[in-house]
Amino acid sequence: MSAHSQTYFKDRLYYALLAAGTLVALAGLYAVYMMEHHGHIVTGMNNQIVWGLPHVFAIFMIVASSGVLNVASIGSVFGKSDYKARAPLAGLLSIALLAGGLTVLMLDLGRPDRIIVAATNYNITSMFAWNVLLYSGMFAFVAVYLWTMMEQRMNPWSKTAGLVVFAWRFILTTGTGLIFAFLVARQAYGSALLPPLFIVASFAWGMAVFLAVQAAMHAWNGRVLDPAILHRMKNLLGVFVIGTLYLVAAYHLTNLYFAHQSGFERFILVEGGAYPKLFWWGYGVLGSILPLLLIYLPRQGKPIHAVAASLLVILGGFAFLYVFIIGGQAYPLNIFPGFEASSSFGDGKVASYCPSRYEYLLGFGGLSVAFIITLVSVRVLRFMPQDKPHVAD
């Protein structure tokens, strides 16, 4: 195929992808309209499960937006040149994922028109109020960080900006974990292990997103990633997956140690129907064990294996968050240990939940927002990692 034909094909494909992403985003806006017009009765949410499937999408994207900056931090803060070449792309993905996650979060909570109230009236005792500052600060600091990397005269400030972003992303992910850690109205939450768990999980999910996007960009430009760089990055992904597995195991083992949590652990790990299946098969096997085999087994060092492992880690992240967020709300709060509580409201009963098509549309609409931001940005600005050229055959 001639160079002109390749350019023409890429242009057509670019606009086709942009159109597809826009359609999905519009479908998400349609879901928002239906939920605002008819109320959340059109969703699968109820009085007990108030954070549904859209929150799974939102929390994943917010946590991954912090973790993907780990690539930039290794380059700018710790001086690793291979990672420094990828810092601009990592910053872009952070902004894109955070924008997509916050879009879903804002539109799912109801009355998005009142966001100005949350932005101008702060309750300093509320972790939700603190997160408004953390998310706004993340946008600002990452934008400045990108400026210092992509504007030559600002390059001397790049390491300073990188240090600020490095610290801020830890604070942001800690804040996201504290939303659940401070929430004592659910059996699943209220654990001091949740902030470090979210931090390590962000490393794994962010690295997985980065590797998948990087592979797509190299394929688009007909380039091959240096095998040595790929080897280091996929092994680092494996370390993060192992770290996440360790903290998830510590979280559940800690719960099992306390008698008042034994019922919840039995529900979420054994007797909860879809939740144990998603946890063991979705997160445990497909989202953790299989990626580790693809990463560390001999003769598994090809780019396709790294991409497959990354995609499985992403799917495993969604499975884990679905069990953690939805399953944690479905199990009834043990208000009176040793006694059985029941009422016409449904106290003491496991809540049922089945996400509606509007929740799927809103969640994928948020992903499409991140996709559109990334797609347009990598076309108009220089976000392609600048390594020595390895042209595909």
In this predicted structure, what is the pLDDT of residue 171? 92
Cα–Cα distances in Å, from 234 out to 72, 239, 293, 301, 347?
A: 16, 9, 12, 9, 46
In this predicted structure, what is the pLDDT of residue 309? 95
C-alpha 192/C-alpha 1 separation (Å) is: 58
In this predicted structure, what is the pLDDT of residue 196? 94
129 lies in the same domain as 252: no
In this predicted structure, what is the pLDDT of residue 393? 41
130 lies in the same domain as 198: no
Cα–Cα distances in Å, from 61 out to 94, 171, 182, 235?
A: 9, 16, 21, 22
Residue 28: left (phi > 0), alpha (psi -120 to 50), or beta? alpha
Residue 393 lies in a domain: no
26 lies in the same domain as 160: yes
Cα Rg for the chain, rounded, in angstroms? Answer: 22
Q: What is the pLDDT of residues 183-212, one digit of tens each?
A: 876 778 888 899 999 999 999 999 999 999
Residue 51 lies in a domain: yes
Number of other CB atoms surrounding residue 109 within 10 Å? 18
Contact 332, 343 (CB under 8 A): no
In this predicted structure, what is the pLDDT of residue 172? 92
Residue 9 lies in a domain: no
70 lies in the same domain as 160: yes
In this predicted structure, what is the pLDDT of residue 118? 67
Lookup: tokens for 268: 């979420």
232 lies in the same domain as 327: yes
Tallying the residues shown for the chain, one arrives at 393
Angle value at C-alpha 329, between 325 and 250, nearest 5 degrees: 55
Q: What is the pLDDT of residues 254-265, one digit of tens each?
A: 988 887 788 889
- Domain holding 163, by residue range, is 15-182+355-382
What letter represents residue 315's amino acid?
L
Burial bucket for residue 299 (CB in 10 Å: 0-12, 13-18, 19+): exposed
246 lies in the same domain as 371: no
190 lies in the same domain as 317: yes
In this predicted structure, what is the pLDDT of residue 314? 97
Tokens 């994922």 belong to 97
- Tell me 332's DSSP state: P
Q: With a threshold of 0.95, does the pTM exceed it?
A: no
Residue 266 lies in a domain: yes
Lookup: tokens for 191: 């654990």
- Tell me 247's DSSP state: H
Residue 150 lies in a domain: yes
C-alpha 327/C-alpha 85 separation (Å) is: 41
Lookup: tokens for 192: 């001091």
Domain count, the chain: 2
Residue 124 lies in a domain: yes
C-alpha 58/C-alpha 357 separation (Å) is: 16
Contact 160, 133 (CB under 8 A): no
The phi and psi torsions of 348 (rounded to 5 degrees) equal 80, 0
282 lies in the same domain as 377: no
End-to-end CA distance of the chain: 13
The phi and psi torsions of 247 (rounded to 5 degrees) equal -70, -35
190 lies in the same domain as 148: no
- Tell me 78's DSSP state: T
The HSE-up count of residue 173 (CA atoms within 13 Å, CB side) is 29
Tokens 């003491």 belong to 348
Residue 391 lies in a domain: no
Residue 389 lies in a domain: no
Residues of the chain above pLDDT 90, percent: 50
Q: What is the pLDDT of residues 115-159, one digit of tens each?
A: 777 667 777 777 777 888 888 889 999 999 999 988 888 888 888
The full DSSP string for 262-279 is HHHHHIIIIISTHHHHII
In this predicted structure, what is the pLDDT of residue 347? 67
Positive or negative, the Cα torsion across 155, 159, 160, 163? positive
Number of other CB atoms surrounding residue 169 within 10 Å? 26
C-alpha 155/C-alpha 149 separation (Å) is: 6
241 lies in the same domain as 277: yes
C-alpha 351/C-alpha 274 separation (Å) is: 13
Q: Which residues of the chain have pLDDT under 50?
A: 390-393
257 lies in the same domain as 141: no
173 lies in the same domain as 230: no
